[in-house]
Amino acid sequence: MASTALPLNPTHLSSPGTQISDSPSPPSLSLLSRCATLSQLKQIQANTIKTHLQNHAPTLSKLASFCSLSLPEHIEYAQQLFDQIPEPNTVLFNTLIRSYSRSHTPIQAINLFVKMLTNNIQPDNYTFPSILKACAMASALEEGRALHCHCIKLELDSNIFVQPTLIRMYADCGAIESAQKVFNATMKGRSVVLYNSMITAYVQRSRPNEALALFREMQAHNTPPNDVTVLSVLSACSLLGAVDLGKWVHEFVKKNGLDMFVKVNTALIDMYAKCGSIEDAKMVFEKMPFRDTQAWSAMIVAFAIHGQGEDALTLFRKMETERIKPDDITFLGVLYACSHTGLIDEGRRYSLLR
């Protein structure tokens, strides 16, 4: 890990000329914006301490917020900074809760929410999307239901940002009927995100027909589907093995310019492969102007599940020559290809790569 020295703003360095000011100001935004590593953040912190600002709450708050947003892998340091702030406000709680909701320790978000309540800090419309996502990740249904009650009390259950996360929370916790209740309670002017959350919920619980019914309903209600919608709808087609429907969605994708999204094309490859049409999968792959790791993986897996082990391995070698970095799913596809084609030696060789 290279720790480059940060070019510090001279006004932040202590010198005989700069004495403690009466109203110390937190580190400037331009200084923080050039901060890319934790050690640089600590340099800034050290320099503010040098100018006797160590107990300056706005400074700690700014550092904690920056650390949590821009150095999410150092969430525990953000927490350390946060713990030194005497009276953290709602915004700072929200910022940290959001970081935890995207971390490997979502439970910590729930702990912070509890702390928020015991400190009499009112959660708001920014708090719930993050905390509900954390519950979804942790499969914390009890806590999720309790949070839903808080939403209702604070009249935030009608918030357009809160609703999709309530649905996602219930769906990820396996309570699809509660997700449906939330969805059905929302009536007028449903957003595309709200539809997407329910369609995805159905797909994830292997209920493709209900997902497709909602897909039709949103169009009937003049809510145009977007790239995220078709990702889930294509999953539904795969679950049904419905290639004709998949082809219809493919046409829809082209007509609405959604084929500019790499992920949509990747989902099309997957759909065609799972519906038995490897030729169509190949055609989509070849037409893609840009292919990321996921697109290559999807095509390798597509060949593998069709028993075309040699094609999968050829594609893998081509991926290597194009210097696209393989991921775990790429290797899964490669090994799958070997196992389906009796390529024991190749399989052994590739399994030593990582």
Residues near DNA (CB under 7 A): 61, 65, 69, 89-92, 94-95, 98, 101, 124-126, 129-130, 133, 159-165, 168, 191-194, 196-197, 200, 203-204, 226-229, 231-232, 234-235, 238, 261, 263, 266-267, 270, 273-274, 293-294, 297-298, 301, 305, 329, 332-333, 336
Least distance (Å) between residue 157 CB and DNA: 12
Residue 105: C-alpha distances to residues 7, 96, 163, 314 (Å): 33, 12, 23, 40
Q: Which is nearer to DNA, 125 or 314 (CB)?
A: 125
- Rounded to a whole number of angstroms, the minimum distance from the CB of residue 336 to DNA is 5
Contact between 217 and 186 (Cβ < 8 Å): no
Nearer to DNA, 4 or 177 (CB): 177
For residue 33, count other CB atoms closer than 10 A to its CB: 10
Nearer to DNA, 15 or 339 (CB): 339
Question: Least distance in Å: CB of 139 to DNA?
Answer: 13
Residues paired with 18 in a beta bridge = 15
**Whose Cβ is closer to DNA: residue 252's or residue 261's?**
261
- Give 206-273 as a DSSP string: T-HHHHHHHHHHHHHTT----HHHHHHHHHHHHHHT-HHHHHHHHHHHHHTTGGG-HHHHHHHHHHHH
CB-CB contact of 127 with 111 (8 Å): no
Give the separation between CA 319 and CA 302, rounded to whole angstroms. Answer: 15
Q: Measured from the CB of residue 323, what is the shortest distance to DNA in angstroms?
A: 18
Give every CB contact of residue 274 below 8 A, 6+ residues apart in sequence.
238, 241, 305
- Judged by beta carbon, residue 6 or residue 167, the one nearer DNA is 167
Q: Least distance (Å) from DNA to the CB of residue 29? A: 10
For residues 173 and 4, give the distance between their C-alpha atoms in angstroms, rounded to a whole number: 44
If the CB atoms of residues 39 and 226 are measured against DNA, the closer one turns out to be 226
Provide the minimum distance between the beta carbon of 10 and DNA in the complex, in angstroms, as a whole number: 26
